[in-house]
Amino acid sequence: MDSGSRADAETLGREKSRLKASRRPGEHDLFRQLPLGTRWRAGGVLYDLKHFLFVNFQGHGVVGGHFDLPVKKAINFSPPLYRQRYSFVNDLVNQHKPKKVADLGCGNASLIQMIKSHSCLELIVGVDINKDKIGSQRCRLSPFSGEYLSPRDLNLSIILYHGSAVERDSRLLGFDLVTCIELIEHLDSEDLARFPDVVFGYLSPAMVVISTPNSDFNPLFPAVTLRDSDHKFEWNRKQFQTWASGVADFYNYSVEFTGVGEPPEGAGNVGYCTQIGVFRKIGAPATESCVAEQCGQHVYKIVYSVSYPSLQQKEIRKLALANEVSRQVQSMRQRYVSSLRILRRGGGDGHRVSDTGLVPFSGPVFTELEKRKIEKSPEPFRFGNKLYVPLERLLAYPKVNRLCDSVDTMRALIADTVRLSRDGSAVKVDLRDASP
């Protein structure tokens, strides 16, 4: 090696040592040697290394025509960021108890699947421009068999529409909550201009939730670019808040700003990864009559529709009541048979048995008030090989009482499926047979 080559090698070694010593705490120990002329394509975007380095890694050195590039650590959110966004909406539903919710840009309906268990909801609508994506989610939104045996109190319908969030459809009027989760950044300038008039002006729901990426956070990611190739823009906090405040003022809403996705320690004042605006209508919402007057404009196409079983549906109520009565009677029968063995060993006749232990083998624990109510009701009794459970006794159990409010109603609903005594005052079960 000649003296010039040795000098170059020594210079290169010193420069690498300087760069390694100057690394800030937390930077990755691995370095990549990339030629400064490197270009690459990802997500339809052509990246230029010189520009990328200038924006993201000013202060690092160039050695021998190469740039020593530290590999940025990936930011991991726990729970995942999408779940944090959905949980934010889920908490709002739990807090405000809306009856009707519409999710614009619903995608694979994951948010709908999360919130559908809330008992306050009576109608959930999802709208998306991608017909294939929403059409493939039917099995995720269909009721499970357990929801027929333990139905909701109120009716719930879920409808998925194929359509655009910037089109007017009167079937979305009169909603309590409209969510737009990671939607607006997918709109081009023309659609973005139409969006406020459709959502805030025409639909005018009581509450609107809009989430969108916060571009102030983007430098913390391994590449400085839009987070999705379909994003038309990404706003920083000032841009989003200026737009949202203007929309709120024009359409008579208040707006509060928050977000999800905390930045890592030491990242500085970049804000949340996802910024969120919560808009609330100022003044009374539109009356039912006003909403009815605007009905008739239907541009969306129904892709999927389902109704959930509820106690408002007579046949579902009958099925649930018969199932619960059978479960309680069978539990009493099992306790009675166990008690009978003990009584016979002790010389008792076993013709009456108390279920005041009240805790079935795998059942719930009752409150003191519930216990007292059950104890005051007529006890189950044995006649021959039959066990009789008075309907009044069954009505004292909370789950049965939730399904019917009187002995007469219970008798009418279960007469076709459960064996009753001759006078209809009790359910009878054969002690040699497990079925009531």
pLDDT at res. 73? 62
Crossing angle of helices 407-414 and 314-346, rounded to 10°: 100
Which amino acid, one-letter code, is at 280?
Answer: R
CA angle 118, 121, 126 (to 5 degrees): 105
CB 144 within 8 A of CB 123: no
End-to-end alpha-carbon separation of the chain, Å? 98
Cβ pair 105, 165 in contact under 8 A: yes
pLDDT in tens, 136-162: 777 889 999 888 888 999 999 999 999
Separation CA 389–CA 330 (nearest Å): 10
Task: Check pLDDT > 50 for residue 7.
Answer: no
Point out the domain boundary residue: 21, 37, 70: 70
Among candidate residues 70, 100, 123, the one where a domain is terminated: 70
Cα 193 from chain centroid (whole Å): 29
Tell me how far apart the 2 most distant CA atoms of the chain are, in Å: 115
- Bridging pattern class, strands 274-281 and 207-213: antiparallel
In the sheet that 381-383 helps form, which strands lie side by side, from edge to edge? 381-383, 386-390, 426-430
Residue 69: per-residue pLDDT: 45
- DSSP per-residue codes, 111-173: HHHHHTT-TT-SEEEEEES-HHHHHTTHHHHSPPTHHHHS-BSS-EEEEEEES-TTS--GGGT
pLDDT > 70: percent of the chain = 74
24 and 47 inside one domain: yes
Closest by CA position to 323, among listed 118, 119, 151, 144? 151
What gap in Å lies between CA 244 and CA 254, rounded to an integer?
10
Average pLDDT score, the chain: 81
Higher pLDDT residue, 55 or 82? Answer: 82
> Same domain for 87 and 62?
no
User: Rounded to whole angstroms, how far apart are CA atoms 134 and 87?
Assistant: 21
Are residues 301 and 318 located together in one domain of the fold? no
Residue 28 Cα distances to 31, 281, 330, angstroms: 8, 48, 64
For the chain, what is the domain count? Answer: 3
Asked whether 106 and 128 are in contact (CB, 8 A), the reply is yes
Integer angstrom CA distances of residue 91 from 98, 174, 424: 12, 21, 47
In this predicted structure, what is the pLDDT of residue 17? 53
User: What's residue 41's pLDDT?
Assistant: 53
Lowest-pLDDT choice from 11-20, 163-172, 218-227: 11-20
* Strand-pair partners of 45: 42
For residues 28 and 111, state if they share a domain.
no
DSSP state of 220: G
Give the domain extent around 422.
314-430
pLDDT tens-digit series, residues 285-295 = 665 555 555 66
Cβ neighbors of 417 (< 8 A, separation 6 or more) are 318, 322
Please tell me the predicted confidence (pLDDT) of residue 67. 45
CATH number at residue 270: 3.40.50.150
- pLDDT class of 406 with cuts at 50, 70, 90: very high
Q: Which residue has the tokens 């030629």?
A: 35
Confidence band for 170, pLDDT divided at 50, 70 and 90: very high
Cα–Cα distance measured from residue 68 to residue 33, given in angstroms and rounded to the nearest whole number: 6
Q: Are residues 54 and 140 in the same domain?
A: no
- Check whether residue 22 and residue 115 sit in a common domain: no
**Does residue 130 sit in the same domain as residue 171?**
yes
Domain-terminating residue out of 44, 70, 96: 70
Sheet holding 31-35, edge to edge: 31-35, 66-70, 62-63
Which range, 16-20, 29-33, 35-39, 78-82, is most confident?
78-82
pLDDT tens digits, residue range 213-259? 999 988 888 765 778 888 999 999 999 999 999 999 999 999 999 99
User: What is the three-class DSSP state of 304?
Assistant: strand
283-286's contacts with Cβ under 8 Å and 24+ in sequence apart are: 283/252, 285/174, 285/204, 285/205, 285/206, 286/173, 286/174, 286/204
Q: Return the SS3 of 282.
A: coil
**Most confidently modeled of 19-28, 350-359, 385-394?**
385-394
Does 91 lie in the same domain as 161? yes
**Predicted local distance difference test score (pLDDT) of residue 370:** 85
pTM score, whole prediction: 0.72
435, part of any domain: no
- Residue 355: name the closest of 323, 321, 320, 390 by CA: 390
| Residues 140 and 224 grouped into a single domain | yes
| Same domain (yes/no): 355, 259 | no
Query: Is the model more confident about 310 or about 294?
Result: 310
pLDDT, greater one: 132 or 275 = 275
